[in-house]
Chains A and B, each alone.
Chain A
Amino acid sequence: MSDIQALEQTISQPGEAGFGDYVALLKPRVMSLVVFTALVGLLVAPVPVHPVVALASILFIALGAGASGALNMWWDADIDAVMRRTSRRPVPAGIVAGGEALGLGLALSGIAVVMLGLASNLLAAGLLAFTIFFYAVVYSMWLKRLTPQNIVIGGAAGAFPPMIGWAVATGGVSIESALMFALIFMWTPPHFWALALFMKDDYSRAGVPMLTVTHGRKATRAHVLAYTILLVPVALGAAFTSIGGPVYLAVSAALNAAFLYGAWRIWQRDEVQAEADGYRVEKQLFRFSLYYLFLHFGAFLLEAALRSFGLGGW
């Protein structure tokens, strides 16, 4: 056998990942939501930030989110492999080794936190470090396989980015950043439980104690409605702070009315009805929940833009 043949045999082993596979480890779709909400948190803050500092900070917040995604994929490779939605992720698909995902996650976490600290301030870096810890350790390693309330508590990890963006600009936390946090935090349970209602096979096969598996689908429907009712005052309350205004209030009122109506419809239905129409209402609410969050943060941004022309706010 020639050296070249031997080399080809060695390098033809599965597991030779491309650049895109490492990018996929960072969950780019989740990162895009993080970038958007962190950017809104930064832009609506009353303290202007130099564009280069803002750009770098958002980049490092996104990198931190991506790092926690890689750590999550390393830890959850076993359950990702049995769920249809996640079975093609790089680690369960055998493209990237688990150890590589762990190494990448840890390295990027360190880089993101240190660089955010240097670019902005220690509070923002501390919040980012806590977010990574919360998502990777508290949610992925601890709660996800332990309690059906995993989504409720784990949702905090996804809720921190606007608070970090606000901290980049102001160096502190406030009622406004707390309300942006609370908006995502309270939105997460109905969003994910709507998904769990029509992706039922996936979670039960993986043995993840999703509410649909542990407490049944009727209880899950009630939880969707209950958390949506709790979400409404949080979303509307933000309208009366310095980041809200009449435009936000109008947008939020319309979105909350629609979300509440969707949750109420889900609560009224039973499994027979849902299976008969292929979970149409549940899928509609899940899709709508994405617009709900995007438009709320878009309205914050619009209010800030209007304020710069002396128009926004109360």
Chain B
Amino acid sequence: MSFRPDHEIHKRRLGRNVGLGLTLVAFAAVIFGLTVVKVAESGPIQGYDHVVQPGLVPKAVTE
């Protein structure tokens, strides 16, 4: 049994889908890159993780 060759329109649709797919991947990469930069530029991020971290305690309390 032989498969029918692709119609020209299928090839065009494939091109469109691949193009859209690559565009979305590129968009996701841009968002990812921006997120990394924005988070890195916002300085060190710390939070209480069930244990008191001296670096986060206000100065007035520690003195």
A residues sitting closer than 8 Å to B (CB atoms) are 4, 8, 11-12, 16-20, 22-23, 50, 52-53, 55-56, 59, 118-119
Q: Which residues of A contact B25 (CB under 8 A)?
A: none
Q: A11-B7, A19-B19, A50-B41 are in contact. Are A118 and B12 (CB under 8 A)?
A: no
Interface flags, B38-60, vs A, CB<8A=1, else 0: 00010000000000000000000
Q: Is the CB of A52 within 8 A of B34?
A: yes
Q: A8-B7, A12-B9, A50-B41 are in contact. Are A19 and B34 (CB under 8 A)?
A: no
Pick from B4, B19, B30: contact of A59, CB below 8 A. B30
Q: Is the CB of B37 within 8 A of A53?
A: yes
Q: Which residues of B contact A52 (CB under 8 A)?
A: 33-34, 36-37
Smallest Cβ distance from A22 to chain B, in angstroms? Answer: 8
Interface size class of B (residues with CB under 8 A): 10 to 19
Smallest Cβ distance from A101 to chain B, in angstroms? Answer: 15
Smallest Cβ distance from B18 to chain A, in angstroms? Answer: 8
Pick from B12, B18, B37, B41: contact of A16, CB below 8 A. B12
**In the complex, what distance in Å separates the CA atom of A53 from the CA atom of B12?**
34
B28 within 8 A of A: no
Chain B residue nearest in CB terms to A12 = B9
Interface flags, B6-19, vs A, CB<8A=1, else 0: 01010011011011
**In the complex, what distance in Å separates the CA atom of A262 from the CA atom of B4?**
61
Q: Which residues of B contact A118 (CB under 8 A)?
A: 34
Q: By CB atoms of chain B within 10 A, which of A4, A8, A19, A22 has the most? A: A19
Q: By CB atoms of chain A within 10 A, which of B12, B15, B34, B37 has the most? A: B34
The 7 closest A-B pairs by CB, nearest first: A19-B19, A19-B16, A52-B37, A52-B33, A18-B12, A11-B9, A56-B30
Smallest Cβ distance from B55 to chain A, in angstroms? Answer: 26
Chain A residue nearest in CB terms to B37 = A52
Q: Which residues of B contact A16 (CB under 8 A)?
A: 9, 12-13
**In the complex, what distance in Å separates the CA atom of A23 from the CA atom of B19?**
10
**In the complex, what distance in Å separates the CA atom of A146 from the CA atom of B36?**
48
Main secondary structure of the interface of A (DSSP, over half): helix
Smallest Cβ distance from A228 to chain B, in angstroms? Answer: 40
**In the complex, what distance in Å separates the CA atom of A132 from the CA atom of B49?**
47
Chain A residue nearest in CB terms to B10 = A11
Q: Which residues of A contact B34 (CB under 8 A)?
A: 52-53, 56, 118-119
**In the complex, what distance in Å separates the CA atom of A50 from the CA atom of B7?**
47
5 contacts between A and B (CB under 8 A): A18-B12, A18-B15, A20-B19, A50-B37, A55-B30
Q: Which residues of A contact B13 (CB under 8 A)?
A: 16
Q: Which residues of A contact B12 (CB under 8 A)?
A: 16-18
**In the complex, what distance in Å separates the CA atom of A186 from the CA atom of B12?**
43
Q: Which residues of A contact B41 (CB under 8 A)?
A: 50
Pick from A11, A12, A19: contact of B20, CB below 8 A. A19
Q: Which residues of B contact A4 (CB under 8 A)?
A: 4
Pick from A18, A20, A23, A56: contact of B33, CB below 8 A. A56
Smallest Cβ distance from B38 to chain A, in angstroms? Answer: 8
Chain A residue nearest in CB terms to B30 = A56
**In the complex, what distance in Å separates the CA atom of A119 from the CA atom of B32?**
11
Q: A50-B41, A52-B34 are in contact. Are A18 and B16 (CB under 8 A)?
A: yes
Q: Which residues of B contact A50 (CB under 8 A)?
A: 37, 41
Chain B residue nearest in CB terms to A60 = B30
Q: Which residues of B contact A17 (CB under 8 A)?
A: 12, 16
Chain A residue nearest in CB terms to B17 = A19
